[in-house]
Chains A and B, each alone.
Chain A
């Protein structure tokens, strides 16, 4: 007798989606987006966060975490490279916004392409020499890169060192939608839009040649090269796209927070975002979204128990990973690759 696995939310969700026809799918997508967009209005319900303002929590950490986790998922989940310095791209985006916002008259939307561009440039510069490395070695180099970026801004005068940069301008209003500190609904909608764009981009790429190439590289890099895939090129692309999303998240974060300092871009952030990806389910967009949302939200929700919240947070991680080692919503089963150990033979 076959025991049905009621815990298999992934297949349950995928089943609904596959059985649905086009209009039904559009209806599902639109209603989900509307529900998510209405989230800031649920501040009076059980979702409310004590101490921190609920609508601010939805933007940062929740929204920004989801965005960053999606970006990191391109690198870690799609092409299987372990990046432990993802915060570097976030920092580059944030400092681009801070410096250009305070020194030039440009607004957030005009700075956004610069932030993304600089992050991508950093991705290419870091990627060219290091993406020839594999596995653990790459992880160590990226870890170092993350720290280097933080130490550079900590010790430079242009970045005002440990004092950080204050008075970063808010984004200009979009028509009737006004960005306000005390009411951050509009920020949240902007983040949601960026998340949707990112998801759309990843989905487009996944079903096309880059997706195939990344998948092959993740499963067996040597074999991928033997298929005629320029593996280095595709790895750099994946790295750079991940960096771009991180940079965009950084620009938005700086513009929302109005103040940034080097200590906001520590190794912890990289690890936390990686946890989001692993917790949600490496390689599965929806898993990553849910994982990041939960890990961003949970510590704020239980803030009333003060320092013990970190204990609870860790406990949740341990318990969930014990019961669901592939994450909350793992990627499709057959996509799971047995990662081949590098053999020097």
Chain B
């Protein structure tokens, strides 16, 4: 078991955003959290990466409770996040953005070329744009950059927050294809999505979140065929 969340509670001030959820992510899996706006998907992810504080509960990574480890040290342990809204550095070039992904690595100089090559193989578009400022990229390119930058840290677990947000359908399909590819290289992926259709097709297992609680947990393929889920999250006839 790579990552386990046990009875997690998270508060924004007095408002409880996460009301005791438990999630398990096994080595080599793609696990997806789906749910409507405000269900707590992004908060869960931010809590795993350390940007939000845990009120109670535990986050266990490789057998170690990391609930009190600061965010920047979690990167060293092997948790990387491509944040919601991509979070690229708009004033830095594509290359500088990718280099930032390695900021904490001890032997970053030795690894740099190899990992840049890997990212460029996954996202040939980034290589074409290497000297361009991040803020001037298209939405899809920015998402590629965000994922590529997260990969530069050689993560064991990659957290993806709505990679399909605001992208054209073709680009969404492209991004999800690459996510599967990344997973095949041995990176465990925890994916938060509103695009349930795509997410369930790509993931192994899925959790459905509603207002801070897990309401359903199942194999992704089962959920894809579950009438209630199709009704609520996929829309009628979305899966033919």
Query: Is there a chain A Cβ closer than 8 Å to B163's Cβ?
Result: no
Query: Is there a chain B Cβ closer than 8 Å to A208's Cβ?
Result: no
Chain B residues near A224 (CB, 8 Å)? 100
Q: Which of B49, B91, B93 has the most CB of A within 10 A?
A: B91
Segment 40-92 of B: residues with Cβ below 8 Å from A: 42-43, 49-51, 70-73, 75-76, 80-81, 83-85, 87-92
Residue of B nearest to A336 (CB): B91
Once the chains are docked, how many angstroms separate the CA of A222 from the CA of B90?
13
Q: How many residues of A contact B (CB 8 A)?
A: 25
Question: 29 pairs across A/B with beta carbons < 8 Å?
Answer: A215-B92, A216-B92, A216-B100, A219-B89, A219-B91, A220-B87, A222-B83, A223-B83, A223-B89, A224-B100, A225-B71, A225-B72, A226-B75, A226-B80, A226-B83, A227-B100, A227-B149, A227-B153, A228-B73, A230-B72, A231-B72, A334-B91, A334-B133, A335-B91, A338-B90, A340-B85, A344-B12, A345-B42, A345-B43
Chain A residues near B101 (CB, 8 Å)? 227
Query: Which residue numbers of B lie inside 8 Å of A, CB to CB?
Result: 12, 42-43, 49-51, 70-73, 75-76, 80-81, 83-85, 87-93, 100-101, 103-105, 133, 135, 149-150, 153
Given contacts A212-B103, A338-B135, A345-B42, contact A226 B81 (CB under 8 A): yes
Chain B residues near A213 (CB, 8 Å)? 103
CB distance from A79 to the nearest CB of B (A): 13
Once the chains are docked, how many angstroms separate the CA of A154 from the CA of B133?
50
Residue of A nearest to B135 (CB): A338
Residue of B nearest to A222 (CB): B51
Q: Is the CB of B103 within 8 A of A228?
A: yes
Once the chains are docked, how many angstroms separate the CA of A212 from the CA of B93?
12
Query: Is there a chain B Cβ closer than 8 Å to A196's Cβ?
Result: no
Segment 170-219 of A: residues with Cβ below 8 Å from B: 209, 212-213, 215-216, 219
Given contacts A220-B90, A223-B88, A229-B103, 7 further A-B contacts (CB under 8 A): A212-B100, A215-B91, A216-B89, A224-B100, A337-B91, A337-B135, A338-B90
Q: Is the CB of A230 within 8 A of B70?
A: yes
Q: Is the CB of B87 within 8 A of A229?
A: no
Once the chains are docked, how many angstroms separate the CA of A222 from the CA of B146?
13
Chain B residues near A345 (CB, 8 Å)? 42-43, 84
Per-residue CB proximity of A223-245 to B under 8 Å, as 1/0? Answer: 11111111100000000000000
CB distance from A216 to the nearest CB of B (A): 6
Once the chains are docked, how many angstroms separate the CA of A338 from the CA of B101?
20
Q: Is the CB of A228 within 8 A of B153?
A: yes
The main secondary structure of chain A at its interface with chain B is: helix
Chain A residues near B43 (CB, 8 Å)? 345
Once the chains are docked, how many angstroms separate the CA of A219 from the CA of B101?
14
Q: Is the CB of B89 within 8 A of A215?
A: yes
Q: Is the CB of A225 within 8 A of B91?
A: no
Once the chains are docked, how many angstroms separate the CA of A224 from the CA of B88?
9
Given contacts A334-B93, A337-B90, contact A228 B83 (CB under 8 A): no
CB distance from A131 to the nearest CB of B (A): 14
CB distance from B163 to the nearest CB of A (A): 15
CB distance from B127 to the nearest CB of A (A): 19
Once the chains are docked, how many angstroms separate the CA of A222 from the CA of B50?
10
Chain A residues near B103 (CB, 8 Å)? 209, 212-213, 216, 227-229
Q: Is the CB of A228 within 8 A of B76?
A: yes
Contact check: which of A209, A222, A334 meets B87 at CB < 8 Å? A222
Once the chains are docked, how many angstroms separate the CA of A223 from the CA of B104?
13
Q: Is the CB of A227 within 8 A of B104?
A: yes
Once the chains are docked, how many angstroms separate the CA of A219 from the CA of B89?
6
Residue of A nearest to B149 (CB): A227
Chain B residues near A215 (CB, 8 Å)? 89, 91-92
Segment 321-341 of A: residues with Cβ below 8 Å from B: 334-338, 340
Residue of B nearest to A220 (CB): B87
Once the chains are docked, how many angstroms separate the CA of A228 from the CA of B101?
8
CB distance from B77 to the nearest CB of A (A): 10
Contact check: which of A225, A228, A230, A337 meets B89 at CB < 8 Å? A337
Q: Is the CB of A228 within 8 A of B75?
A: yes
Residue of B nearest to A231 (CB): B72
